[in-house]
Chain A
Amino acid sequence: MNIRDHLPAFLVMLPLLGAFLTPAVGSLGKVIRNGFYILFSFLTLLTSLSIGCAVFWGNPMVYVMGGDSFALTLPSGMSYPVRILFEIDAFGALFAICIAIASFAGALFSIAYMDKFSGWKKYLALYFMLTAGALGMCATGDLFNFFVFVEISSIASFGLVAFWRDKPEAIEASFKYMLVSQIAAMLLLIGIGSLYGKYNSVTMAALSSMMRDGYLERVVIALIFCVLAFKCGAFPMHTWMPDAYAEAPTGVTCLLVTVSQASFYGLIRVCYSIFPRIATGGVVGWVLIVIGCMSMFFGVMMAVVQHEIKRLMGYHSISQVGYMLLALGVGLVALGDQKDMIDYGYTAMKGGLFHAANYSIYKALLFLCAGSLYYATGTRNLDKMGGLARNMPWTTGMFVIAAAAISGLPPFNGFVSKWMIYESSFAIHPILPAIAMVTSVLTLASFAKVFQAAFLGPAKADFVAVREAPGFMLAGMAVLTVATLLLTLFPSWFTSNIFEKAAVALADNAAYVRAVMGGI
């Protein structure tokens, strides 16, 4: 038995084990606690990278829990899988890697950032639970388990957003998120239950092979679509996002960015892999495109006028999610037609997935930069900041890289993914890239404002003694900066080896079904 075969289980098991061991390890002193935090986050990252290597240059990984054999998806005499099943293809592996990178960077950052606060055991346990939930969403091949992982990540995020219980704003942000989340969770469960009632299975591949186009199926796709669009922060269901991102401790916000990406993964998986007969080439793709455009435009319009740095970045998250929804919506519209796929569909999907990876990395980095500023100055209000570039040169440098990347300035990675999205969406309608470009210009305008207000100008009297962020915080930011620069310098390699394979895996529904159902 090869240990490589068990990697999908390790991917979720490691952070879960970290969460359950935390109460014991947390009592053994600061050094052991910090070492444990970093070690488990790093092992999770290594596992996700190993899965990536196996999947990008091999076949999808399938793992069955509780069966006679971990590879036995269909027990003899059964026409569909009956056990808990993980299925990771190139599309899932891409998101798992992004989550693991952000989790590791957030862990490094949190060691220094949270050092002066109490409640470490709770923080660590919830942080690992959040990581496990998000990774589980990308690994599972079972809709009910997907729901369980959504709930694990949601409950952990409610706790982490309200981690600073003495701040009424944090409690309010968490409560509002929880309120709508629980309505969403009920609708998700009703949707999954309806499918189980009709098809006797909750395995995604089995459902995909049996799915028909009917009224029930259309209602279910609408329910699941809206729940996951809400979770990834799409307009007009985005209202929880700026509050939650602003009030959560910064290491958590860094991870929350990728948790919303796990919901985006779920949304796209549902449309492309479970309901292709309904979603392909029809109204679902157009709904994605319209919601994407509204998210882009209204998100950035709200961001431009903010002067609280984390809220500003929270609104930008909505806007960036819009780009991905637009790109994958264009891909969905093209999916039914081979010619359209070759002409622009694959470019849209590759652009959207490239942008998802970019967003996970540079947005997480921007939040860490904001956290670094808050740590040094004690304020998130840009009106009160100024002249910090002299005192915080490393933070300034990394902020500039991330801000240029998110604004789509050449030669950074954000430009490449946006360029692919502009070009492919033009094939559907010229207004789409026009909205995307206006959004990009406004993104640049708002980050120019942040740069001018926080880093440039004469030093403020209150901040003359401000020092650069501690080493661990800089290390967390450096991990994401290196990732941004790698995506910038080698876009061709990443596109042909990762994003293209992820796009092909997503478009080739038959291969996804075959990996679990064999020749059926």
Chain B
Amino acid sequence: MWSQLNSGAGYWNVFIWIIFFAGISCFVVWIRSFGRMDYKRNTDQDEIYWEGNEVPDDGASISVPASSSYWGFRVAMEPLYRLLDKFHSGSGSDYAGYFVVTVALVGLLILIGGK
């Protein structure tokens, strides 16, 4: 039950990783213990620093929306995404067409393909 998992070329032991993460966690706690606890509460010292600007009350105005994430990746892959968007047309007859064409292609491959 506790033994390692062998694949033939390597092995996996989850407990080595758990011990590794426990070690890293101890290290993080140790680093954190260097932090100063003598700051003055409810003063500017415990305010969020936001590039010297006042932090808005509504988080919506300072968070990055999900649709803006990986903007660069999306722009770089624009030609592929244009194709994929066209493919996902939302039309039921297109989807039925993709299915029929795939059946024909796979059928042809299996018919002419040898063992």
Contact = CB atoms under 8 A, between A and B. Distances in A.
Interface of A: 175-176, 179-180, 183-184, 187, 213, 215, 218-219, 221-223, 225-226, 229-230, 236-237, 239-240, 278, 280-284, 286-287, 298, 301-302, 304-305, 307, 343-344, 347, 382-383, 385-387, 410-411, 416, 419-420, 423-424, 445, 449-450, 452-453, 457-461, 488-493, 495
Contacts of B57: 461
B99 A184 contact: yes
A301 B77 contact: yes
**Residue among B3, B77, B106, B114 with the highest chain A CB neighbour number at 10 A:** B106
A226 B1 contact: no
B25 interface: no
Contacts, number: 165
B78 to A, nearest CB: 11
B26 interface: no
Contacts of A226: 99, 102-103, 106-107
B66 interface: yes
B66 A221 contact: no
A343 B63 contact: no
B30 interface: no
B1 A423 contact: no
Interface of B: 1-5, 7-10, 12, 14, 17-18, 21, 55, 57-60, 62-67, 69-70, 73-74, 77, 80-81, 84, 87-88, 92, 94-96, 98-100, 102-103, 106-107, 109-111, 113-115
A411 B103 contact: no
18 contacts: A176-B95, A179-B95, A187-B103, A222-B106, A222-B107, A239-B95, A278-B115, A283-B113, A301-B80, A301-B81, A386-B59, A386-B60, A387-B63, A416-B5, A452-B66, A453-B69, A457-B62, A460-B63
B17 A410 contact: yes
B102 A180 contact: no
Nearest to B112: A283
A492 B102 contact: no
Contacts of A419: 7, 10, 12
Contacts of A280: 115
Contact of B63 (A283, A386, A416): A386
A307 B65 CA distance: 9
B8 A283 contact: no
Contact of B66 (A278, A284, A302, A307): A307
B69 A488 contact: no
Contacts of B110: 218-219, 221-222, 225, 278, 283-284, 287
A423 B65 contact: no
Contacts of A286: 113
A416 B13 CA distance: 10
A509 to B, nearest CB: 16
Given A223-B107, A423-B10, A489-B14, 9 more contacts: A183-B96, A226-B99, A236-B102, A278-B115, A284-B110, A301-B84, A387-B59, A411-B17, A419-B7
A459 B58 CA distance: 7
B5 A495 contact: yes
Contacts of B114: 282-283
Contacts of A176: 92, 95
